[in-house]
């Protein structure tokens, strides 16, 4: 994950990420091996692609989310990737290779990233590593593809999605690539879709009763969010204005949400406010709309209304990360570090592995001039993104800070011992 986070295309957008994990975990829960942990994450890349890394990390390109014409289509591609993981295809492939013992997970992650197109870090990272060897042997076999299709199909069905969507999606991709042979979408290059695969999917779907599945509002909202942020402000505005004006949409609310996002980008606040009112009446109590509303108030300088919107939104959706982060940031910006700290620490009780909460906690302590807990919090943030060395440095700074009581100081000492042991073990592993 450290390699991925360093990539220019990685996005930590809390709303889209949470949506992808909700959708992904709905599929995982429907799979036979639901004990495996998964992390779904967004890659800002217009190419239609999704890919699985060892350890259950599944990357989803923004291009895939925008190209999917229904939530079932997106779920179809994800269930195929989930199946690669639960069927241990990568592990089986590595086991067949003699070099398997010396391949580190990091090298493997680099190789897979390099296999995607447009990857910045990977081409450089790959040169000096064993990754170039791995990359050459990373393509799934036809048997793996067939199995991922079969298992993915079952997962899709059990999770309650439209099973026709998988074949429909692949067929559309196939058709679109006929015209650009040399520039096939990345997904097709790593997952060659053959007529045989499409026919298999259609046959499986034929034996099941037709079921109409409505897309979730969140699916439509997150598509609109990606569209509104990835295009230029003027293009985004033109797109949503036209869609709304000519009623060319699946979801009017999502289209209006996209329009408001675009209006905020071109600083057309008066109109944004009007459209927002219509949107809030149409879908009251939606967390993503609350977050957008607060953003509008912040942009227009109405801090009091923004703070109130966060408080109201969090009452209904206490775990909605975008609201938590944005509210904490605004509290910090308005010199209410004590309140920010209370909010962050209450959330840490539920999500103790969230590095962004620790970052906010560190900022709040810094504002309150409490240096030991500030460095301690930053250490926890670094530790959670896999940066043990950085975490140890922060703990050393905490020791030297000269504040904190005896209890806090001993707790820093104990944590430092723990991480140093961990660091030694890691070094020994690497040397092996």
Measure the CA–CA gap between 298 and 218, rounded to whole angstroms.
Answer: 23
4 vs 148 by CB, closer to Zn ion: 148
Stretch that binds Zn ion, among 144-152, 214-222, 314-322, 361-369 (CB under 5 A): 144-152
Token pair of 125, please? Answer: 């990272």
116 vs 191 by CB, closer to Zn ion: 191
174 vs 268 by CB, closer to Zn ion: 174
In the complex, what is the shortest distance from the CB of residue 97 to Zn ion, in angstroms, rounded to a whole number?
A: 19
Stretch that binds Zn ion, among 175-183, 185-193, 326-334, 391-399 (CB under 5 A): 185-193
Which of 26, 89, 116, 191 lies at the binding interface for Zn ion (CB under 5 A)? Answer: 191
114 vs 228 by CB, closer to Zn ion: 114
**CB neighbour list of residue 333: distance below 8 Å, 6 or more residues apart:** none
Stretch that binds Zn ion, among 19-27, 137-145, 233-241, 301-309 (CB under 5 A): 137-145
Measure the CA–CA gap between 173 and 409, rounded to whole angstroms.
Answer: 59
Measure the CA–CA gap between 145 and 407, rounded to whole angstroms.
Answer: 55
83 vs 107 by CB, closer to Zn ion: 83
CA distances from 383 to 30, 272, 355, 386, 420 (A): 32, 41, 8, 5, 12
Exposure string for 134-146, b = 16+ CB within 10 A, e = fewer: bbeebebeeebbe
Q: Map residue 383 onto helix, strand or coil.
A: helix
- Pairing outcome for strands 10-11 and 50-53: unpaired
Stretch that binds Zn ion, among 21-29, 120-128, 142-150, 230-238 (CB under 5 A): 142-150
Residue with CB nearest Zn ion? 191
Q: Does the footprint of Zn ion cover residue 116 (CB under 5 A)?
A: no
Stretch that binds Zn ion, among 14-22, 105-113, 148-156, 413-421 (CB under 5 A): 148-156
Number of Cβ within a 10 Å radius of residue 8: 12
In the complex, what is the shortest distance from the CB of residue 84 to Zn ion, in angstroms, rounded to a whole number?
A: 6
19 vs 187 by CB, closer to Zn ion: 187
Site residues for Zn ion per CB under 5 A: 145, 148, 191
């Amino acid at each position: 994950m450290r390699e991925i986070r360093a990539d220019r295309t990685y996005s930590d957008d809390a709303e889209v990420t949470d949506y992808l994990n909700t959708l992904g975990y709905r599929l995982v829960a429907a799979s036979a091996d639901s004990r495996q942990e998964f992390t779904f994450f967004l890659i800002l890349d217009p190419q239609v692609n999704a890919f699985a890394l060892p350890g259950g990390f599944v990357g989803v390109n923004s291009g895939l989310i925008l190209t999917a014409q229904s939530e079932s289509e997106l779920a179809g591609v994800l269930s195929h990737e989930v199946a690669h993981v639960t069927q241990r295809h990568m592990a089986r492939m590595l086991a067949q290779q003699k070099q398997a013992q010396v391949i580190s997970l990091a090298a493997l992650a680099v190789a897979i990233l390099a296999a995607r197109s447009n990857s910045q870090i990977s081409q450089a990272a790959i040169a000096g590593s064993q990754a170039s060897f791995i990359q050459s042997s990373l393509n799934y076999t036809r048997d793996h593809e067939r199995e991922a299709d079969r298992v993915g199909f079952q997962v899709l069905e059990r999770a309650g999605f439209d099973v026709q969507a998988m074949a429909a999606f692949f067929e559309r991709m196939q058709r679109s690539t006929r015209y650009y042979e040399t520039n096939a979408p990345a997904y097709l290059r790593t997952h060659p879709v053959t007529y045989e695969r499409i026919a298999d999917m259609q046959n499986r779907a034929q034996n099941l009763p037709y079921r109409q599945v409505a897309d979730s509002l969140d699916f439509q909202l997150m598509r609109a969010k990606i569209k509104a942020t990835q295009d230029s402000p003027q293009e985004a505005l033109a797109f949503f204005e036209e869609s709304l004006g000519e009623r060319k949409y699946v979801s009017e609310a999502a289209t209006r949400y996209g329009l408001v996002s675009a209006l905020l980008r071109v600083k057309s606040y008066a109109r944004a406010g009007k459209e927002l009112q219509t949107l809030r009446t149409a879908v009251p109590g939606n967390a993503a709309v609350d977050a957008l509303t607060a953003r509008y108030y912040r942009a227009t300088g109405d801090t009091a209304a923004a703070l109130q919107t966060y408080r109201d939104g969090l009452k209904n959706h206490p775990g909605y990360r975008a609201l938590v982060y944005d509210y904490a940031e605004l509290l910090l910006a308005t010199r209410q570090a004590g309140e920010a700290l209370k909010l962050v620490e209450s959330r840490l009780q539920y999500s103790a592995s969230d590095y962004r909460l620790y970052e906010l906690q560190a900022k709040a302590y810094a504002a309150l001039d409490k240096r030991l807990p500030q460095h301690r919090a930053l250490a926890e943030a670094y530790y959670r993104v896999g940066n043990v060395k950085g975490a140890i440095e922060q703990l050393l700074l905490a020791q030297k800070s000269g504040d904190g009581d005896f209890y806090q100081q001993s707790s820093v000492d104990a944590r430092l011992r723990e991480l140093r042991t961990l660091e030694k073990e890691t070094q020994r592993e690497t040397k092996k």
